[in-house]
Amino acid sequence: MEFFQQVHKSLLQGSKDTIQRELMNNIDWNQRLICIKGFRSVGKTTFLLDYIKTHHPDSNDVLYLNLNNFYFTKRKISSFADEFAKRGGKVLLLDQIQKYPDWSADLRKCLDEIPDLKIIFTSSPVLRITEDNPDLEGMASIYHLEGLSFREYLNHETGSNFRTYTLEEILNNHIEIAQKVVDEIRPLAYFDEYLRHGYFPYYIHDPNFYIDKLLKNINLALEIDVPYINQIEFKYLPKLRKLLHIIASETPFTPNVSKLASSVETSRATIMNYLKYLKHARLINLLYENGGSDDDQMKKPDKVYMQNTNLLNAIAPNNFDKATVRQTFFYNQVGYVCELAKSPVADFCVNGKYKFNVGGRKLKPEKGIYAASDVIEVGEGNKIPLWLFGFLY
């Protein structure tokens, strides 16, 4: 126990200045079991440490544990948690829960037998925490830590403190909001760099090797996270990698499943499964005409996008054209807080009622359709700057 307490203190003392993530303000921290999901190196560990520094500074009843530690190959989490609680512990933070084989049953045992203990844990985005899991169904509150919003990136780069806005606030007051931002900084001066290298927080400390690290994390997700959860044999990984490259090279596109199956040399059913695996891994986004989660869909998606523009730039830089990047950015930023669906008359339908076309400065709004326009600082009427949709979180 003392060893882990010393590691805990060392991590807090050695942590560098970080970007304050909006998710910190959106979580109900009174819940007993909280899961933070996120892509590799999106900042989950830093997020836990920031939580400790914000909510429990200089407290001895909080403990951070990384389950990568070999100690937990011989000791159960529930046993450790019981000892921690008997020593006065109140909050246990478990990093990388997927590294621990019996995580589900052991977390449930903690809930049942240690009523005064709160547990916050992180996991890979592909881990099924409550889905088909009777141990934790209805017990765990799940949150997703995404990459930096354009607002979070701007705040760090400029030292500003711009707040978030709801979609309705942007639709109704976008001219006033955009003008306030433009009066302080020039957002378009930062936009292109964000689209290429600003989504994952590690750009701050290692900008020259950002793409290399991103490619490494993509491959680790494909080689470890996706196969481990979905029980894919190693010999099939080249097919998964090939599919991802095809998607990055052609996105956004309406998938021809038979053609994809032929290109990857697998079955149509396997392609449909692979698309869901890549979506769960936070590598791609799927758009359906009726909206909703891809878990609820029986048919193929209407369109496929990369999950964020940095992934697109890393995997298929030759497809980093303006039209593709604009739509990918819009889906990524708006889709985090709203439900998106394909519209028969526009690029996107948001929350079942707002229709958007996404384009450049010459894009004009149509009747009943908003225009999300790039390369403008301030909009007019139903024409809204594209960059402003990066202020939703």
Measured between its terminal Cα atoms, the distance across the chain in Å is 38
The pLDDT of residue 294 is: 54
Task: Reply yes or no on whether the pLDDT at 293 is more than 70.
Answer: no
Domain span holding position 80: 1-144
Tokens of 374: 């790039």
Alpha carbons within 13 A on the beta-carbon side of 252: 27
Same domain, 298 and 275: yes
Residue whose C-alpha is closest to residue 223's, from 206, 236, 205, 213: 236
Query: What is the tens place of the pLDDT at every residue in 300-353?
Result: 999 999 999 999 999 999 999 999 999 999 999 999 999 999 999 999 999 999
Does the structure show a pLDDT above 90 at 15?
no
Boundary of a domain, candidates 110, 126, 144: 144
Q: Looking at 144, 177, 197, which one is the last position of a domain?
A: 144
Do 113 and 180 share a domain, yes or no? no
CA distance 171 to 175: 9
Q: Are residues 83 and 161 in the same domain?
A: no
- What CATH number is attached to the domain comprising 108? 3.40.50.300
* 103-138 tens-digit pLDDT: 999 999 999 999 999 999 999 999 999 988 899 999
> Are residue 177 and residue 129 in the same domain, yes or no?
no
pLDDT at 290: 81
pLDDT value of residue 292 = 63
pLDDT at 295 over 80: no
**Shared-domain flag, residues 287 and 243:** yes
Threshold 0.85, pTM exceeds: yes
| Residue 377 CB coordination number (10 Å) | 14
* Count of structural domains within the chain: 2
Same domain flag for 136 and 173: no
- Mean pLDDT over each residue of the chain, to the nearest integer: 95
Same domain flag for 318 and 226: yes
Other C-beta atoms closer than 10 Å to the C-beta of 169 total: 14
Residues 88 and 121 in one domain: yes
User: Is residue 205 domain-shared with residue 300, that is, in the same domain?
Assistant: yes
Residue partners of 36: CB distance under 8 A and separation at least 6: 23, 44, 47, 48, 120, 121, 122, 123, 143, 144, 145
Residue 296: pLDDT above 60? no
Q: How far apart are CA 295 and CA 1, in angstroms?
A: 41
Residue 5: both structure tokens together? 């307490």
Of 144, 164, 188, which marks where a domain is finished?
144
The two most distant CA atoms of the chain are separated, in Å, by 66
Same-domain pairing of 129 and 24: yes
- Whether residue 73 contacts residue 47, with contact meaning beta carbons closer than 8 Å, is answered with no
Q: Which one-letter amino acid corresponds to residue 335?
A: G
User: Do residues 311 and 213 share a domain?
Assistant: yes
What are the b/e assignments for 210-239, b being 16+ CB within 10 Å? bbebbeebbeebbeebbbebbebeeeeeeb
Give percent of the chain with pLDDT exceeding 90: 92
Angle, CA of 257, 340 and 43, to the nearest 5° = 95
The model's pLDDT over 191-224, given as tens digits with 9 standing for 90+, comes to: 999 999 999 999 998 899 999 999 999 999 999 9
Q: Are both 268 and 163 inside the same structural domain?
A: yes
Kindly tell me the sign of the dihedral angle through the C-alpha atoms of 154, 26, 275, 340: negative
Say yes or no to pLDDT of 9 above 70: yes
Coil/strand/helix, residue 65: strand
Q: Is residue 65 pLDDT above 90, yes or no?
A: yes
Q: How many CB atoms lie within 10 A of CB 286?
A: 20
What per-residue confidence (pLDDT) applies to 353?
Answer: 96
